[in-house]
Structure 1
Amino acid sequence: MRLLCGLLLLCLVVWAAEARKGGRARRVRSRDHTTKRFAADCKETLVNGEKYFDCQERHLTAVLLGWPEDIHHLLLARNRIQVLRDNTFSHFRNLKSLDLQQNEISRIDDGAFDGLSKLTTLLLQHNRLQVASEGMLIPMPQLKYLRLHDNPWRCDCQLDSLVRFIQVPSNRNIGNYARCAEPREFSGRQLKKLDAEMLCSPEQEKEAILDPENQQLPAPQKKSDATSLCHTYMHPVPRMDCRNRDLKTVPADIPLDIVKLDLSRNTIKQLRQKEFVNVKELKLLNLSGNSLESIDTAAFTGLLYLGELDLSNNSLRYFQYGVLEDLYFLKRLSLGDNPWICDYNIHYLIYWLKHHPDVSHTGLVCSEPEEFRGWPVENYVKTYNAECPKDKQLGNLPDTDLAGNTPLELTAEIDEEEGPRPYRGHKKFEIIRLN
């Protein structure tokens, strides 16, 4: 009987051990399965009632299974996707924007965007697309913004339908800035302005146009503009990233709807007049880490809604009078790490800040002259008129008469030392000497 009880007890112990091992194995498998399913480590966020699914920079080569289907914005920028096949996004029926820029996409099937009837924004810039047709856009009747620039487009008959679609007058935000890469005679030309009739003409008729002397004209040179040098993002707000692009001037053709513009860490030395006049929606402008030495009085013309301006880490010494006059809604101004000179020229900046008390500013410190180095500029300006010259001289006047009156000649000299006064015409003086 004891032997039987011992055997039974031993069986129970072995069974319990196996059960524990099995449980651990199941949990490990469960963890492995979860890790595999969410290997991309994407993030889902809710902004103003709309769902954003951020899968940027995850080394993805395709859209994975298991992603939430009720999202409104899908961010897939900076991955390694090469091909978009039919029905890739068909289960995202609520999608309003799709960001696929900075991938390696070289082919898009006509049915890749099937099911995206609510999509309004599609970003395909900075990829490897050479050919595409209007057919891929048919499933997106509400499409308003389509970015196609910085792709090596081959402008021939296969691109005919897409070019004609882009050039429809109502599609003013479709395919802006996209340019031909080949053939040579079309290289650098914008798809928006290309003569679509020439795309499917016989090859011999499509040879380079000759000038009156029968010399072949050089192919148009591609202009270094913002769209080819910088990266544009549409959500949550339109912004352009031009950091560290070795820019020597503000780039041309900044998209009109940009709200945030980052031009930091370049070599821009001067801001000319009306540099940003067309970017009327701009609210944040970062120009830090450049070599800015001067800013034209009209450089910020048109930036009525600019709220934040970063001019730190430049070579600015003072502002010309009127530079900040158009910035009615400015709230933050960064001015640090500039060699500000504390003399009369710096007074405009302090005057403007004094009359705009809601503007938060930082980094306004004297660099020259030596006696004021390290002083806050506001403190320097306070000492500039701390003692009135007239008061100092009146306190030490010699040779008063018996009644304590000051000679008229001296009074006139002191008045003249106060500085220029508005012209009021000639006055006649009669000098009377009292005994």
Structure 2
Amino acid sequence: MLAGSVVRWGVWSLLIQFGPGASAAGCPLRCACRPEAGDVVCSGRHLSSAPDGLSGDARRLDLSRNKIKTVGRRQFSGLPRLQELDLSDNVISVIEVEAFQGLQNLRTLRIKNNRLKIIPVGVFSGLPGLRLLDLSQNEILVFLDYTFKELANLQTLEVEENDLVFISQRAFVGLQNLQELNLDRSNLTSVPSEALSRLQGLTRLRLLRLAVSTLPGNAFRRLHRLRSLLIANWPALDAVASDSLMGLNLTSLAINSCNLSAVPYSALRHLAYLRYLDLSYNPITAIQGNLLGDLLRLQELHLAGGSLLRIEPGAFRGLAHFRTLNVTSNRLATLEESVFHSVGNLQVLRLDGNPLACDCRLLWVVRRRLRLNFDGSQPACSSPDAARRREFRDFSEKELPGLFACRPARVTDRRPQEARVEEGATVAFSCNADGDPLPSITWISSQRNVVASTGRIRALPDGTLEVRFAQVQDSGTFRCLAGNAAGNDSLTVGLHVKGLARNRTAPFFWDEGWVEPSSSQAANSSAQMSKPYPFDAKTLVIATTMGFLSFLSSVAICFVFMFFWSQSKGQIKHTATIDFVPRSSMGGGDGADGGRFTMKLI
């Protein structure tokens, strides 16, 4: 009995070491082998180096979860058929140049969760068939020029959770077939645009947990094949340059868990092929109307966990293929039907987690509650009290007209408002309205322009129209429009501004304000105005200048004439005497006081 137990224990030990059906030949001690599959599993065996005695027929070698510190030169040169090598979860700090030389058929290399700080150029030489390289969770500080030069067929590169502070411009040279790059949790403070531009075959790019505050212009230049871009967990990112995504043909874009306070419309408008857009977990407060129309192929928009207060009418106008809207966990009170290009195309709607006011604006959603897919999360009402906390599926058709109702907007004070003021005065017109939901107030000028909330003429938050330092051109009618989902009302007011006379007794306007002339200045000014002046100073200056120019012209003509006359006679006259009599300024001179000067001809 005891002998039989010993035999069984020995067989069991061999099975653990070599695997079921394996023999000791070609399988190292403390490893499990499956010769028919070519697997050699040495994971978690406290190995300090790669074991000896590996079969040359091995196709998969698992050395993970050991205590290997160094990978030497040509360490695995005796395994020409090896296709997958896993060195993850060791304490590797050094990999020598040409460490993997001879692994012509290797497709997958994992060196995840080790202690690598730098990768010398030439480490990955001799791996022409490598498709996937995982360097994540190491302590790599920098990628040097030509680090991956010989990995011409590499398709996926994982470099998450390293201490990267710099990626050299030529680090990715040679990766012409790389399709996916995953970069997560590093110390980079800017997008390595120049290095990325070498990856012209890239189709998927994931950039997670970076300390970058601005997405600069042309951040992803020359990545024309890129289809999916994920930017996530950049807590400092609050600005996206208008040309940052220029040249991309993305179908999927996610910029989530960042610090964007507005939808980056100008950066998005170039993405005509975009189908999926995720801006979740950003402090975005509004989706404005008519600014997403260039995204003709957009099908899904996710903006969950933000600070949305409103989605304006026409926000998705022109998006004929729009199917999914996810705005769960925001601060929306309503979602109007006019937001969409066509609600008939809408298939998935996530509205849960919002303080919804269940009135006529949401009636269209409730009536489609059986056809719309709420993704397992039914919206619920926050107001009115009669519907508080009730989910949309709980309402019957009979209740809808009474609960989901609105009162049209109505201007409450319709007394005429006409203001007649002098230029420079400040005028205010009031416009109060009620209704359910609370109406919005808009002022329209006589030129049919919407009055903004800033400027000399502005609309205040309480509905008041304020005109500061009124000008004559401000005269006209202004119209107050009060509107809500149930209807509109309006009120017209008039403004007449009288211009101030522009004369010597009128006040002058300086930067410091209006300045009235003193009484003595006014009296002197009046006395001076009563005296007739034959000419003013400006006229005298012009006349004097014109006379002097005429005189110089005459002298020049005489000089030229005399010069040519003397040449024609063959005699050169060296001097000429010219007499002139100046005209009296008052016209009373007799010409006795003449003048004479001599001009020398040279």
TM-score (norm: length of structure 2): 0.37
The structure that is helix-richer by fraction is 1
TM-score (norm: length of structure 1): 0.48
The structure that is strand-richer by fraction is 2
Higher relative contact order (CA 8 A, sep 6+): 1
